[in-house]
Amino acid sequence: MGELEVADYLLTQLTGFSPEALDPIRDLERICRETDGTDLRIGLDNLTADSSDRVYLYQTEGRLIGYFSWYSVDGIEANISAMVHPLRRRQGIFRALLEAAAKDMREQGIQSCRFKVPADSDAGQHTMEHLGTKFDKSQYAMEFQALHHEELRNPNLVIRPETLEDFGFMVRCSTQAFGDSEEWTLRYFGNTREPHRHAYIGFDGAERVGMIRVKLLGSDTAVIHDFCVSPDIQGRGYGRDILMQTVRLLLSEGRTRIRLSVITENRNALELYRRIGFGIVSKSDYYICNLEAWR
């Protein structure tokens, strides 16, 4: 890992994600969670050998007391998670980590930042207020609990792994369903086509009706994302059927820990996930700001 000695601490950029390297981060996460009484989840299982996450550690006397990580799916916005030991806050540790990461972000062309903060974290909310960030949205993290066995509303529907011929549909479906520009969607798909991500296309006969992507973590975990149905045929149960078939497929492959996220205001999606068998495990708030605000 690269190292920079400053005063009485060591600020390092982590370059290897072995279990031994992640253990101190896991311990700090536990300490913050237990002391603050929050459900802090910084996404440690996303830190793998092929991860694009950039991680900064703040240590003193050989002990980890600060953590900061960021990644980007579009090359423009950085998604950030951070934590500081409860007994070492208000000492400039977060600021030091932020400034080190901001230099790296500028070199990579990042323009804006999105911070993930546990909704029940007073310390996190205070930090966001101090930074002058703007609240964007809240999300529930949900985990699969038990599959509710129901018949498909569309008995001819099947899901198949994506092929090159499906790419145009994926871009159109995602752009129309989520309201992003085609340019952004193309860049996003280009930046997230790693070996551990898989996309499935929902077919009703020969017609493509929707898509769903899955990120595989470790041997038993899967994260569902980019789940959408073509807007012109929504309301016919295709989303429910695609999700149910995907969950069944993942379970058959030994993926017993299945996760997804949903915007808290999306009540229809939230109820759909609950009917399939997912339950809420935590809530996070997201704050955004321009990177240039820290110059």
User: Long-range contacts made by residues 78-82, C-beta under 8 angstroms, separation at least 24?
Assistant: 78/105, 78/110, 78/112, 78/113, 78/114, 78/291, 79/114, 79/116, 80/113, 80/114, 80/115, 80/116, 81/42, 81/43, 81/115, 81/116, 82/42, 82/115
**What is the CA angle 211-110-104, rounded to 5?**
125
Contacts of 212 (CB under 8 A, 6+ apart): 159, 199, 200, 202, 224, 226, 227, 228, 242, 243, 246
Counting Cβ atoms within 10 Å, is residue 55 exposed (0-12), middle (13-18) or buried (19+)? buried
Q: Which helix (H) or strand (E) element contains residue 34?
A: helix 19-36
Instruction: Give the model confidence (pLDDT) of 140-169 as tens digits.
Output: 999 999 887 678 899 999 999 999 999 999
Residues of the chain with pLDDT under 50: 1-7
Q: Which helix (H) or strand (E) element contains residue 227?
A: strand 221-229
Q: Report the distance separating Cα 98 and Cα 89, nearest Å.
A: 14
Single pTM value for the model: 0.89
Instruction: Give the model confidence (pLDDT) of 185-225 as tens digits.
Output: 999 999 898 889 999 999 999 999 999 999 999 889 999 99
